[in-house]
Amino acid sequence: MDVFLWVIVPYLCIATFVVGHFWRYRYDKFGWTTRSSQLYEDRLLRIGSPLFHFGMLGVVGGHVIGLLVPQAWTDAVGIGEHAYHLVAVTGGLLAGVMAVVGLAILVYRRRTVGPVFSATTVMDKVMYAFLAAAIVLGMWNTIAGSIMTIGGEYNYREGVSVWYRSFLAFQPDADLMAEAPLGFQLHALVAFGLFALWPFTRLVHVFSAPVGYLTRPYIVYRSRDVQLGSRSRRPGW
């Protein structure tokens, strides 16, 4: 059971994530968009969307640090357990609260504003459920696990993070995850579910974050015959 939950399911989800994106990009570039609903409603979005997105940027950054940087490294540069914990919890809490409040506003908006609701697909609803569940469980882990220490102390950097790195290195150690508290287990499972859904939802827009805009010239010139449609040009012979 442990192997199924912490080896097979995660790999299946990640495989779906990777292959799904590849397929979606090849087949459905036209559908690759944010599907913004700002045109319909602006007042709630103006508060909710930046809150949620900037909060999520913080959350993702925190996960990258927490999961990918081994404890030995931070110990080596002299950041003690307590100091790390303090920074992580404060930052995590701030970003998490932003994301949760933002998400609440956005979900409320999606449900109550007529045009926005009627533009909501089934996939959107499923995705929202997974996303909300992952965020709420994550917040629970931060608040209940790290601050209130319900169910005893748990240092995820010696458990979940190590498992995650072993998972990325294709030498997964399922026992580490099996010993983790239930909150972390659920959070991880829901997150992997979200990864599996990812390529088939509007979440794909994350991967088109337009950082190239900072360096490209303002006006783009393109020749007519270089490319028409998404297929590249045939050679001239």
Partner 1 sequence: MRVMAQMAMVMNLDKCIGCHTCSVTCKQAWTNRTGTEYVWFNNVETRPGQGYPRRYEDQEEWKGGWTLNQRGRLALKGGGRLRKLLTIFSNPKMPSIQDYYEPWTYDYATLTDAPAQEHTPVARPKSLLSGKDMKVTWSSNWDDNLGGSKATGEHDPMLKKIADKVRLEFEETFMFYLPRICEHCLNPSCAASCPSGAIYKRSEDGIVLVDQDRCRGWRMCISGCPYKKVYFNHRTGKAEKCTFCFPRIEVGLPTVCSETCVGRLRYIGLMLYDADKVLEAAATTDEHGLYEAQREVFLDPHDPEVQRAAEQAGIPRDWVSAAQRSPIHALINRFRVALPLHPEYRTMPMVWYIPPLSPVVDVVKDTGHDAEDKGNLFAAIDALRIPIEYLAELFTAGDVAPVDGVLKKLAAMRSYMRDINLGREPDPSIPAAVGMTEEEMYDMYRLLAIAKYDERYVIPPAHSEQAHALEELATECSVSEYGGGQHGLFGEGSGVPTPIAVENFQMLQDRQTADTLASPADKSARVNLLNWDGKGSPSGLFPPRPGNAGADQPEGEAP
Report whether 142 contacts 89 (CB < 8 A).
Answer: yes
Q: Does 26 bind partner 1 (CB under 8 A)?
A: no
Minimum gap (Å) between residue 109 Cβ and partner 1: 12
In the region spanning residues 76 to 115, those forming contacts with partner 1, defined by CB under 8 A, are 114-115
Q: Does 38 bind partner 1 (CB under 8 A)?
A: yes
> Please, which residue, 96 or 199, has the CB nearer to partner 1?
199
Site string for partner 1, 118-137 (x = CB under 8 A): xx-xxx--------------
Minimum gap (Å) between residue 169 Cβ and partner 1: 32
CA-wise closest residue to 198 among 13, 34, 35, 68: 13
Q: Does 235 bind partner 1 (CB under 8 A)?
A: no
Lookup result for tokens 């809490």: 93
Lookup result for tokens 């059971």: 1
Choosing from 6, 10, 13, 45, the residue that interacts with partner 1 (CB under 8 A) is: 45
Return d(Cα 63, Cα 96) in angstroms, integer. Answer: 11
Segment interacting with partner 1 (CB under 8 A) among 8-16, 117-125, 134-142, 173-181: 117-125
Choosing from 17, 32, 128, 140, the residue that interacts with partner 1 (CB under 8 A) is: 32
Assigned token pair, 110: 């999606």
Choosing from 36, 90, 112, 149, the residue that interacts with partner 1 (CB under 8 A) is: 36
Return d(Cα 84, Cα 101) in angstroms, integer. Answer: 25
Give me the phi and psi of 231, to 5 degrees please: -90, 140
> Please, which residue, 152 or 236, has the CB nearer to partner 1?
236
Beta carbons within 8 Å of 70's beta carbon, 6+ residues apart: 157, 161, 162, 165
Q: List residues bridging with 232 in a β-sheet.
A: 227
In the region spanning residues 214 to 233, those forming contacts with partner 1, defined by CB under 8 A, are 214, 216, 218-225, 228-231, 233
Choosing from 1, 4, 30, 72, the residue that interacts with partner 1 (CB under 8 A) is: 30
Beta carbons within 8 Å of 209's beta carbon, 6+ residues apart: none
Return d(Cα 208, Cα 21) in angstroms, integer. Answer: 12
Report whether 74 contacts 167 (CB < 8 A).
Answer: no
Q: Which residues bind partner 1 (CB under 8 A)?
A: 24, 27-42, 45-46, 49-50, 52-54, 114-115, 118-119, 121-123, 200-202, 205, 208, 210-214, 216, 218-225, 228-231, 233
